[in-house]
Structure 1
Amino acid sequence: MPRLGFTLLLSLALLVSPAGFAVPFWGEKQSSPVDSPVDRLPPGAWIWGGDDKQAGPMAVVVSLTEQRAYVYRNGILIGVTTVSTGREGYETPTGVFTVLQKDKDHRSNLYGNAPMPYQQRLTWDGVALHAGGLPGYPESHGCVHLPTEFARLLFEASNLGMTVVVAQAGQAPVSLVHPGPLSPIDAHTGADVDMPQLAGGNSWRWAMDPPAEGPISMVLSRSDRMLVVYRNGVEIGRSRVELARPGAVTGTRAYIVEGHFHPPTPQESALASIEGNSRSLPMPTWIAIGVPGYESAAGRPVPANVANQVMVPDGFKQKVLPLLSPGTVLVATDAHLTPENSGEHLRVIDSVGPSGWLDDVVTERHVGATP
């Protein structure tokens, strides 16, 4: 056979061999807007608010019942996606897992060298998170299939040892089967998190022994009139709040502490010395994060007409204000912080980018295959 003909045949053979197959692209290429109701995301759709590896520990909750996965950073929801899990006879196991291995270009050694991009292995016998087919129902051999771009973002954001909890109705608490704005698990252990409400007439509470170090994140629920503070993935305090103008801002918003603080005015300092309250503490300035659907807001300072909307008990302010520093994130939502039913609409928040102070911000945020 002429050398040219042999070379051509060899090239064709490589192209049609499993190793030569082009890797498919599954799912949507871009995030849906953060205001998109999660329970209406079509197969392959996803939301990614943003991320910063320095913002605290990450955890993932996979709901087999919903066929969705929820990603949390420092206790706050930053992403959600449709998934496809194990079909009958190949059911995805439930329980607490950690990422044992990561392989960006993994191919299956069980299923004809099938591509499994952005694989994050959960068990040594073949269960993993990776990009794959998303027909809208369980159709994998046990793995959790993700949209390709979402799988890439999660792969780049996560670390070995990241906690992943797989839950199913009838086998896990409602908070895990239908996750909400706050992480239902301990990012370090995967254990269910008890999120007790404030008792009786208590307006706020603070942890007896909170972590001494780690990034701070905050979530505000306008529906619950509640502000929750996290440090290094652990809730350290929550407080009832009052909203001066509940409808002043609508839609999902996220904010981050800017690099400088403005000191209290002379009048505030004088009043503080008399009252002994937090008016004497320096107040941070915030800028907005450009989350999907609100990209044009990125970098904008919180305007004066949005300031002083959230009224927080002074004792709680005295606990929180000294902890805030550039990079602290505040997100707000109209969703309830505790799960009520599977029909709850949630909106995803971001854990990075520009932001605003407790008294500055009232925002909304909805959130609630083969191998």
Structure 2
Amino acid sequence: MGEDINIISLTKKELRDAILKNTYWDSDVIHMPFSKSKANWILRNERIDDHDICAIIGTENKTVISFIFLVPDIISTKTGTEKIFWSRRWWISKKYKDSILPTYTMSVAMNAVNNKAVVKFLGKDIEEYYRKQPFTEFAYRTRYYIIFNLDSNIVLTKINVLKNIKGIVKTLDNTSLTLISFLNGLKAKKKTKHLTYEYVSDVDELLWQFIAPFCKKDLIPKSKEYISWQIDNNQYTNALIRNKYPKKCLISSVYDRVYNSSYIIKKENTIIGFTSFLIRGNEVMVRYFICEDDYLELCANAIIENIVKLKATNIQTENEKLGRYIENQFIHLHNDKRKLYALAHNDMNIDFEHAIINDRDGNFA
């Protein structure tokens, strides 16, 4: 690697200094590791200490060329709890894709966190790397990616000849979403007419009393402060005219529409469920879907009613019961089901055989 390349392990304390100095947000910066709103949100994590690592950043002449996003957290182990670091993003500049920089950057990251790394989402392009490393696969699950429209972007990518009639394809895309949303919304409202929704921005004591029993056996211990931090909308930057915002953000926290929608579901003034999902553009990513099985049908219809109102084109969830219900009960044009697994370094004291990862664990999009 060249002499001008510099790779640093960014601690919480150093991130705070970087915000004050505007280090990664100057006007000449093209790739921001994260938006300033996301950076300030990282500092508010109650589980990060001043000297904990939150990112590995490689630069060349002040240009970011490599980046690994790390989120400090607490995990339940066979003997209690211990500090871990979620590896949430691993990005390398195209210029260095085929060099030693990707593996060197990850090596720096593993050393910086003493191998206490957990990976929840694994892109197909980096699976091969981890297979050669001392990591254990665990927490097998299915991700449901349910699409409610024609999705012209996918169609045009896969069928090149249709690019000649791009306008027609996009019209069919919009028409399919309008029709399917109308029919799904009609069906959902029949089930939800006796429900009320209380939209919230944080978790108070009353809501926590409802949520807590569902999270008692979570791999990642929860608290009302932790969940409030997770769903905090101050971590996002809404850039209404995105193409006028010149910077590229390596963590997708800058969008024309990006925020968490969190709400309590009530029946006859009694809490029966809690849902929180990220809406990013037209996509919905479920983070919390909490209810007893007896109320799953009502709460699933509630989420459909909400996403129809948002004109969302798809929903992603790793909640098997929710995914199956939506797949079987509502009109959609495609369901991209993918088997997922998490990875943790062999040095960690995790009960790999019985550990379960939920939507709400390690979900820091």
Provide the TM-score with structure 1 as the length reference: 0.20
Name the structure where strand makes up a greater proportion of residues: 2
The structure having more radius of gyration, on CA atoms, is 1
Name the structure where helix makes up a greater proportion of residues: 2
